[in-house]
């Protein structure tokens, strides 16, 4: 056994040496690895496009990917420049971002939260992406957004319409350009009252996940505010393809309006089957039976064919808009792919540009500075009129379109007719109503 003598001087020396040893690496690493996937002197940076390539929202996913590829072209100064010609204020110079060429990797969310998170994690950890973007489901958006917050990587949400994304599940590193269910309800309410009156009985079929729940809640609040009675709210599995067992009870429920809180292929199947069951030819309570699809897109209208004609809903954007931004985007996208873009393509293209522009504004890829550049950013010329990324919840505020399935289309793509452009002031709300916390800048 040896005897150890511990002196005061020895302890001080050892402590000082340990402190030096521990702090030395931090002096270097705090500069060299200030944020995850810092590109340093590299000539290029990578974006991660995480979209549903399979599953019920794969049509939207395919269009999102087309839009991202086009956005990368335009950011790198190729093609006709698209919305870089109309966006104001614009910091991008058409030479990539901060002089670095933009490259990308893609992933398949499969419209499943766990698959989407795994794909985003791979992109961040293995591919070294600076930003993750995409998705066509709010379940996926909330899951990926939360992962991105943990990993300190910015997430620019694609098509996500649930109030939760920028409500109770909002995150500092997540941003949404797309509108939400609350805004759909606020925009649609007055039109429903004008078209169908105040005395109606509504039956909801709702996709059973967080987007469906919040849309059902928002539309229910709106219609009950008009004086409508809610007969029933029925949840349907996201994976359902045959909705007949859910539609047959509607026939004898006494309802005179069916509200389909479905999106993508869910909506195409449920609407098609509702029409097959004769709902649109039915008279109930002395009124024509009506179907409402609160959120729909041209891709869905294409899938549903003539069944969509005359049906009211809302959309974030439509290719038929006549403003300079919308026309520039439709022209670029149409020239590239031979058909006009969907609303999913539009929101994803805009998100990619907004992120790239914010990096230019911040003069760095450091996400903390990029987040600060995006928060409260006001812009125009992107197809929705004057828009603001509200700092309090990272939700974009802009005009909302109420549309109707076109009964007299002038072309194969002219499937939605804009009934009303509802001004931003009518769909704005207090960010506190949905709760949630953005969380810290530094993670």
Partner 1 sequence: MDALVLQILNGLDKGGAYALIALGLTLAFGTLGIVNFAHGALFMLGAFCAVSLQRILTISQKVRDESITFFEAYKEVPYLELWLGDTGTKIIEWSVPLSILMAIPIMVLIGIAMERGLIRFFYKRTHAEQILVTFGLAIVLQEIVKSLFGANPIPQSAPEIVSGSANVGAFLGLSDTLVYPYWRLIYFTFAVAVIGGVFAFLQYTTYGMVVRAGMADRDTVGLLGINIQRRFTIVFALAAVVAGLAGVMYTPVVPPDYHMGMDFLVLSFVVVVVGGMGSLPGAVAAGFLLGILESFSSMNEIKQIFPGIDQIIIYLIAVVVILVRPRGLMGRKGVMES
Write out the residues near partner 1 by the rule CB under 8 A: 53-55, 58-59, 232, 234, 237, 241-242, 244-246, 248-249, 251-253, 265, 268-269, 273, 276-278, 281-282, 303, 327, 330-331, 334-335, 338-339, 410-414
Give CA–CA dist 323/421, Å, rounded.
12
Q: How far is CA 269 from the centre of its chain?
A: 23
Nearer residue to partner 1 within complex by CB, 53 or 166: 53
Give CA–CA dist 358/206, Å, rounded.
37
CB of 315 to partner 1, least distance (A): 20
Nearer residue to partner 1 within complex by CB, 172 or 204: 204
Nearer residue to partner 1 within complex by CB, 149 or 307: 307
Give CA–CA dist 50/196, Å, rounded.
40
Cα-based angle 392, 395, 400 (whole degrees, multiple of 5): 135
Token pair for 384: 């929705």
Give CA–CA dist 424/159, Å, rounded.
19
- The residue among 349, 355, 350, 344 whose CA lies nearest residue 131 is 355
Nearer residue to partner 1 within complex by CB, 169 or 216: 216
Nearer residue to partner 1 within complex by CB, 187 or 250: 250
- Cα atoms in the Cβ-side hemisphere of radius 13 Å centred on 209: 23
Phi and psi at residue 43, to the nearest 5°:
-85, -10
Using CA atoms of 19, 23, 24, 29 in order, give the dihedral in degrees to the nearest 10. 170
CB of 278 to partner 1, least distance (A): 4
Nearer residue to partner 1 within complex by CB, 152 or 303: 303
CB of 232 to partner 1, least distance (A): 6
Token pair for 105: 């990797």
Look at the chain and count its residues: 443
**Burial (CB count <10 Å: 0-12, 13-18, 19+), residue 319:** buried
Nearer residue to partner 1 within complex by CB, 284 or 356: 284
3-state secondary structure of 9: helix
CB of 248 to partner 1, least distance (A): 4
CB of 428 to partner 1, least distance (A): 33
Nearer residue to partner 1 within complex by CB, 44 or 54: 54
Largest CA distance in the chain: 101
Residue 430 is given by DSSP the state -
CB of 249 to partner 1, least distance (A): 5
CB of 94 to partner 1, least distance (A): 21
Token pair for 337: 């792919």
- The residue among 322, 321, 323, 319 whose CA lies nearest residue 333 is 319
Nearer residue to partner 1 within complex by CB, 175 or 209: 209
CB of 362 to partner 1, least distance (A): 35
CB of 69 to partner 1, least distance (A): 17
């Amino acid at each position: 056994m040896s005897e150890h003598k511990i002196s005061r001087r020895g302890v001080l020396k050892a402590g000082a040496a340990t402190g030096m040893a521990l702090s030395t690496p931090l002096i270097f690493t705090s500069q060299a690895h200030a944020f995850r996937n810092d590109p340093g002197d590299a000539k290029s940076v990578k974006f991660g496009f995480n979209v549903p390539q399979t599953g019920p929202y794969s049509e939207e996913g395919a269009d999102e990917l087309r839009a991202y590829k086009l956005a990368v072209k335009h950011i790198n100064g190729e093609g006709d420049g698209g919305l870089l010609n109309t966006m104001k204020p614009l910091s991008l110079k058409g030479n990539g971002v901060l002089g670095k060429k933009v490259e990308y990797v893609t992933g398949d969310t499969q419209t499943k939260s766990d698959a989407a998170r795994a794909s985003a994690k791979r992109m961040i950890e293995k591919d070294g992406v600076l930003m993750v973007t995409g998705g066509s489901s709010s379940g996926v958006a909330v899951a990926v957004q939360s992962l991105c917050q943990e990993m300190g990587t910015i997430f620019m949400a694609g098509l996500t319409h649930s109030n939760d994304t920028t409500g109770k599940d909002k995150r500092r590193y997540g941003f949404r350009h797309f509108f939400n269910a609350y805004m759909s309800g606020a925009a649609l309410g007055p039109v429903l009252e004008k078209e169908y009156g105040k005395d109606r009985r509504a039956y909801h079929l709702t996709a059973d996940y967080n987007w469906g729940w919040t849309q059902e809640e928002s539309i229910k609040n709106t219609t009950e505010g008009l004086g409508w009675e809610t007969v029933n709210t029925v949840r349907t599995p996201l994976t359902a393809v045959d909705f007949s067992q859910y539609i047959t009870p509607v026939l004898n429920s006494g309802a005179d309006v069916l509200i389909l809180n479905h999106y993508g292929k869910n909506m195409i199947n449920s609407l098609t089957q509702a029409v097959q069951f004769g709902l649109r030819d039915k008279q109930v309570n002395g009124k024509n039976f009506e179907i409402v699809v609160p959120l729909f897109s041209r891709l869905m209208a294409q899938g549903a064919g003539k069944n969509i004609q005359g049906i009211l809903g809302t959309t974030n954007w439509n290719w038929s808009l006549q403003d300079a931004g919308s026309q520039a985007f439709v022209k670029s996208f149409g020239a590239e792919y031979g058909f006009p873009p969907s609303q999913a393509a539009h929101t994803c293209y805009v998100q990619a540009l907004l992120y790239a522009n914010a990096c230019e504004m911040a003069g760095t890829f450091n996400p903390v500075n990029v987040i600060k550049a995006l928060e409260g950013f006001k812009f125009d010329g992107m197809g929705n009129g004057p828009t603001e990324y509200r700092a309090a919840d990272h939700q974009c505020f802009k005009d909302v379109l109420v549309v109707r399935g076109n009964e007299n289309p002038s072309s194969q793509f002219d499937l939605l007719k804009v009934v009303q452009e509802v001004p931003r002031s009518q769909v704005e709300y207090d960010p506190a109503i949905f709760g949630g916390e953005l969380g810290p800048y530094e993670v």
